[in-house]
Chain A
Amino acid sequence: MKWRLIALIVGALAILAGAVLIAHASPLASLQSLFHGSLGTPVAIAGTLKETTPLLICGLAVFIALRAGLFNIGVEGQLLVGACTCGVVATKFHGITGMVLGVICGMIAGTLWALPAALIKAYRNGHEVITTIMLNNIAMLITSMLVSGPLKDKAQSDTATPYVDANTRLPWVYSNPPVQINLALVLGVLLCLGMAYWLKKTVGGYELQAVGANRTAARFAGISPQKVTMVAMSISGALGGLAGAVQVLAYEGRFYDGFSPGYGFDALGVALLAGGNALLVLPSSLLFGILSKGGTALQIDGIPKGITTVVLGLLILIAAAIRFRQVTKDA
C-alpha cells in the first residue's frame, strides 16, 4: 500500500504549488530561489549554518524532553532567559572567563526557568504544555522589560544590552569570509552526538526513555518517573538556555528586545521530524535552517515567508504518517 504514501506526498506538493500560484508566482522559480537563497552562494550557506545553530540546540532541548514523554513548549522562554543572563554576565567578565561563565549562567537560567514546570509536572501532575507556554510569556515580557530599563545600554538607541567584547565572543573554527563556521555549531553537533550516545548507551538514557514510552511499566521497573521528569526537564531547560547563550556569544553579541524569531517553537518541529533518533536532529535542524534562510529569499520575490512554515508543517505530517505506517506494520 505504498501508493497512499505517494498520494500523500503528491497531495502535499500540490497544496504547496497551489499556494505559491495563489501568491502569483511560479512554483518552480520559487523552489529555485528558495534553494539559491539558502545554499546557492557562500554567503547564503553561512547564513543557513548560522540559522541552523540555535535550531539544532533548541531541537535537542525539545528532543530530550520528548524522549521522556514531555512536551517542552517552553524552550523559547528558556532560550530568552539564557540569552539575557549570558548577555549580562559576558559583559561583566571578559575573555575565556566571560565566555565560560556566560554559557554556564545561561544554562543555569534556562534550567531554573524550566524548573517550575518540571516540579508541577512531577509532583502535582500539572500538564507541562500549559505551564511552559505560560512561562514563555513571562520570559518574553520580563526580558523585554529588563532590556528596556535596568539592563539597557545607554550608548545604544536600541533596547539592548551592551555588546560583549570581541575577545569574549565564541571564536570561528573556520573562517574564510564570507563562509564562516562558529564554534557554537560545532558545539551543537557534539551535543547531538553526545545525546545520541547517552540515550542509547547509558542506563540513565534507557530509564529516561522507558518513562517516556510507558510511565507505569517504568515505575514497575524501579524507575522514579518523578526523578526522570525532573532530570529531563532540567536538561531540556539547560539546553534551551545554552542555545540562547551561544546565540549571544556567537552571532548577536548582545541581548535585545525581540531576540528570538521563534527558534524555540521551530525546535518543536525539528524534534518531531527527527522522530526517535537523536542523530536525525542534525539533518532536521539543517532542513529547518535551509527553509528559514531560503524563506527570506522568497520574501524578496514577493512570496510570503509563511509558505516555508506550510512546507515544514507538511513535512512533519508526512514524517508522522511514515512513522505511523512503520509502527502499525510491526504490530
Chain B
Amino acid sequence: MSFAVRLLGITKRFGSVTALDRVDLEVEQGAIHALVGENGAGKTTLMRVLYGALHADEGALELDGNAVRFNSSREAIAAGVGMVSQHYGIIPELTCLQNLILGAEGGPVLNGKVAEARAQQLAERMGFSFDWNADAATLSPASAQKLEILKLLWREARIMILDEPTAMLSPADSDALFESLEQLAKDGATIILVTHRLPEVLDHCSRVTVLRGGKRVDEKLVSTTNGPELAKMIVGEAIERYESEDCPSLGDAVLDLQSLTAKGARGDLALKEVCLNLKSGEMLGVAGVDGSGQRELFEVIAGLIKPISGSLQIVGNDGNNLGSWDRIEKGLRLIPEDRHAQGVVEEWSLDENAALGLQRLEPFAQKNLVDTDARKQMAGKIAERFKTKHGGLNLAMASLSGGNQQRFVAARSLCLNPKLILAFQPARGLDIKGTQQVYEGIREACRNGAAALIVSFDLDELLEQCDRIVAMNHGKLYEPQAGQSKDRDAIGRLMVGAQ
C-alpha cells in the first residue's frame, strides 16, 4: 500500500486559537478519500496546509514517501497538488480557455490554437464539453465546477483537493461529477474530498477521515462504517446537556410556515416545502451545516425574498401581504448574520444606529419625525443592556470592535416589545460571557411572550440554549422524532442527511 499523501502531526494556530491539533492524514494513491467534519472542524485549514497556502506550525508533509515543504501554493502546484476551493476561482470576464490556462500559461507567448487543442483533449478525456471562447460568465455552477477540475488537470495535478464540490450542484450534476472523479481515480489520480454530506462519502469514497474541533477523531474504511456512526463522530458526544429547568408555557403560534419553497441567490431551490410552527414562549434552534438553506429561511421570514409557493403567518398575519417593514411593525426583530454589512451603518454614530430597523416605531419616531432625544436615551439603554464598550454614543459605529457591535445589534433587536426574534448566529464573535448574556436576553424576551428562531452552525450552542431544535439539510427542514428534539445524535444525523 503506497500513500500519495501523508500529513503527520499537523498543528496550526491562529493567534490563541488552535485550528489544527496534531492532525494526521494518510491518503492512498488512486483513492477518493473523504475528509468530513462540522464547520470550523479544521478541514479547509488542513487542506490549505497541504496546498501550501498556509504554513503548519508543526508537523511534516510527505508526497509519495518523500518529505516536502511548500512555501507557497506555486510550489505545491509544481509538486502536483491542486485544489478547488469552495468559492470558485473563475473570472467571469475571461473566456473559458483563458480561465483554464490562467497562471499556467507555460510561457510568455500564448499560442491559442495549441492551448485549445490541449484543452479539448483534456475535456474529452473527462467527457466534458466547453465552448472555449465563450465568456466564463455564461457557465452554470456545474460547468464552472467542471472547468475547475480541468484547471487541475491542465496543471497536471496528481493530487486533487475538492472543497465541498457539490455545494452548488444539483443531484444530477453531482452524480456526473462523481463519475468523472471515479474515472480520474482509476487513471491514478488521488482525490481528497472535503464534504459535509455523508451520502457522498458512503457512495463514492473508499476511506474517510473525521475531524472535530481541529483534532482527528478517527479514520475508517468506508466499507466498515455507516451513516449514523459517522454522524456521531462528526458531532461528538455532548459535553453537557441543557435541560430546560422549567418547560416554558407556550402560547399562540407566532410563526407558521406551510410548504414554503423559495429560490436562493443562484436561482436554485434553496428552501423546499418547509413547514414550521413556532409558538410564543418558545426558543427554536435551527441546526445545519452552512448553506443548507438557513439564509433563505431567514430572509423569507424577514420578507427580504419572496417565496415562490407556500404560506407563512407572522404574528397572526398572512406574511404574503406584509412587506419587510410591516413585519417589523408586527413585532419581528432581526439579528442578522453579518452585523457589519447587514446590521449597522458603520460610519453612523451609535445613536443613529440605535434606530436602524426600528426607525418608524415609537419612541424613535413621532408622526414621521425623528425624536432625537428619545433616540439618544434608547441608544444608551441598548448599549447598557449587554455592556457594549464604547467611547460615546456620538462616535461612529466603526469605532467599536466586532464583539461590541454584536452586543449592540443583539440588544437593539430585543427593544420595543419583540414578538418574533429572528437571529442568525446571535453570539457571533462573542466570548462565553457575552454569549450567555445575549441568549439570556433572548430567553427573557421569550418568557415575556416572544418567540425566537435561532440559526446557528454550532449544534452545541443550540443544544445548550434552545428549547427545541430542528435541522436543515439541502433546503429541507427536518423535525426530530418525538422525544428526540434535544437528541444530539439524532439531530446530527438529520443535519448531514443520514437518517
Interface membership of A327, Cβ < 8 A = yes
Interface membership of B95, Cβ < 8 A = no
Task: Please state if B342 and A220 are interface contacts (CB–CB under 8 Å).
Answer: yes
Interface membership of A29, Cβ < 8 A = no
Interface centre among A201, A203, A204, A220 (most CB of B within 10 A): A220
Report the minimum CB–CB distance from B418 to chain A (whole Å): 14
Interface stretch (choices B125-133, B247-255, B364-372) = B364-372
Contact of B325 among A200, A202, A216, A223 (CB under 8 A): A223
Interface membership of A15, Cβ < 8 A = no
Task: Please state if A203 and B356 are interface contacts (CB–CB under 8 Å).
Answer: no
Task: Please state if A210 and B304 are interface contacts (CB–CB under 8 Å).
Answer: no
Q: How far is the CA of A256 from the CA of B355 in the complex (A)?
A: 49
Q: How far is the CA of A204 from the CA of B368 in the complex (A)?
A: 7
Q: How far is the CA of A213 from the CA of B396 in the complex (A)?
A: 13
Report the minimum CB–CB distance from B322 to chain A (whole Å): 10
Interface centre among A201, A218, A223, A330 (most CB of B within 10 A): A330
Q: A200-B370, A202-B369 are in contact. Are A222 and B324 (CB under 8 A)?
A: yes
A:223-282 near B, CB below 8 Å: 223-224
- B396 neighbours in A (Cβ, 8 Å): 327, 330-331
B:355-387 near A, CB below 8 Å: 355-360, 365, 368-370, 372
Interface membership of B281, Cβ < 8 A = no
Interface membership of B395, Cβ < 8 A = yes
Interface membership of B323, Cβ < 8 A = yes
Q: A202-B370, A203-B370, A216-B342 are in contact. Are A221 and B356 (CB under 8 A)?
A: yes
- A210 neighbours in B (Cβ, 8 Å): 345, 356, 359
Report the minimum CB–CB distance from B392 to chain A (whole Å): 11
Render B315-337 as a binary contact track against A, CB cut-off 8 A, 1 for contact: 00000000111111000001010
Report the minimum CB–CB distance from A229 to chain B (whole Å): 16
Task: Please state if A203 and B369 are interface contacts (CB–CB under 8 Å).
Answer: yes
What's the count of A-B pairs with C-beta under 8 Å? 77
Interface membership of B314, Cβ < 8 A = no
Interface membership of B341, Cβ < 8 A = yes
Nearest chain B residue, comparing its CB with the CB of A204: B368
Q: How far is the CA of A221 from the CA of B345 in the complex (A)?
A: 11
Task: Please state if A213 and B359 are interface contacts (CB–CB under 8 Å).
Answer: no
Nearest chain A residue, comparing its CB with the CB of B341: A216
Render A201-217 as a binary contact track against B, CB cut-off 8 A, 1 for contact: 11111110010011011
Q: A219-B324, A327-B347 are in contact. Are A206 and B398 (CB under 8 A)?
A: no
Contact of A220 among B304, B347, B360, B370 (CB under 8 A): B304
Interface membership of B302, Cβ < 8 A = yes
Render B390-401 as a binary contact track against A, CB cut-off 8 A, 1 for contact: 000001101100
Q: A202-B369, A213-B348, A216-B342 are in contact. Are A221 and B399 (CB under 8 A)?
A: no
Q: A202-B368, A206-B370, A330-B395 are in contact. Are A220 and B302 (CB under 8 A)?
A: yes
Report the minimum CB–CB distance from A223 to chain B (whole Å): 7
Q: How far is the CA of A222 from the CA of B356 in the complex (A)?
A: 9
Interface centre among A221, A223, A330 (most CB of B within 10 A): A221
Report the minimum CB–CB distance from B378 to chain A (whole Å): 14
Interface membership of B497, Cβ < 8 A = no
- A216 neighbours in B (Cβ, 8 Å): 341-342
- A330 neighbours in B (Cβ, 8 Å): 395-396, 398-399
Interface membership of B62, Cβ < 8 A = no
Render B292-309 as a binary contact track against A, CB cut-off 8 A, 1 for contact: 000000000011100000
Q: How far is the CA of A227 from the CA of B5 in the complex (A)?
A: 56
Task: Please state if A203 and B325 are interface contacts (CB–CB under 8 Å).
Answer: no
- A220 neighbours in B (Cβ, 8 Å): 302, 304, 334, 336, 342-343, 357
Q: How far is the CA of A207 from the CA of B398 in the complex (A)?
A: 19
Q: How far is the CA of A204 from the CA of B369 in the complex (A)?
A: 8
- B344 neighbours in A (Cβ, 8 Å): 214, 217
Interface membership of B346, Cβ < 8 A = yes
- A214 neighbours in B (Cβ, 8 Å): 341, 344-346
- A331 neighbours in B (Cβ, 8 Å): 396, 398-399
A:154-212 near B, CB below 8 Å: 200-207, 210
Report the minimum CB–CB distance from B373 to chain A (whole Å): 12
- B327 neighbours in A (Cβ, 8 Å): 222
Q: How far is the CA of A330 from the CA of B324 in the complex (A)?
A: 32
- B304 neighbours in A (Cβ, 8 Å): 219-220
- A201 neighbours in B (Cβ, 8 Å): 369-370, 372
Q: How far is the CA of A327 from the CA of B398 in the complex (A)?
A: 9
Q: How far is the CA of A164 from the CA of B342 in the complex (A)?
A: 53
Render A293-331 as a binary contact track against B, CB cut-off 8 A, 1 for contact: 000000000000000000000000000000000010011
Q: How far is the CA of A210 from the CA of B357 in the complex (A)?
A: 10
- A200 neighbours in B (Cβ, 8 Å): 370
Report the minimum CB–CB distance from B485 to chain A (whole Å): 30
Report the minimum CB–CB distance from A183 to chain B (whole Å): 29
A:10-66 near B, CB below 8 Å: none
Q: How far is the CA of A286 from the CA of B357 in the complex (A)?
A: 38
- B323 neighbours in A (Cβ, 8 Å): 222, 224
Task: Please state if B369 and A217 are interface contacts (CB–CB under 8 Å).
Answer: no
- A204 neighbours in B (Cβ, 8 Å): 368
Report the minimum CB–CB distance from A82 to chain B (whole Å): 28
- A222 neighbours in B (Cβ, 8 Å): 303, 323-328, 357, 360
Q: How far is the CA of A221 from the CA of B412 in the complex (A)?
A: 12
A:73-121 near B, CB below 8 Å: none
Task: Please state if B359 and A217 are interface contacts (CB–CB under 8 Å).
Answer: no
- B359 neighbours in A (Cβ, 8 Å): 203, 206-207, 210, 221, 223
Nearest chain B residue, comparing its CB with the CB of A328: B398
25 sample A-B contacts, Cβ–Cβ < 8 Å, listed by A number:
A202-B368, A202-B369, A205-B370, A206-B355, A206-B359, A210-B345, A210-B356, A213-B345, A214-B345, A217-B341, A217-B343, A217-B356, A220-B302, A220-B336, A220-B342, A220-B343, A221-B356, A221-B358, A222-B324, A222-B326, A222-B360, A223-B359, A327-B347, A330-B395, A330-B399
With A221-B328, A221-B358, A331-B398 given, can you name 7 additional A-B contacts, CB distance below 8 Å?
A201-B372, A214-B344, A217-B341, A219-B304, A220-B302, A221-B359, A330-B396
Which 3 pairs from chain A and chain B are nearest by CB? A222-B325, A221-B357, A330-B396
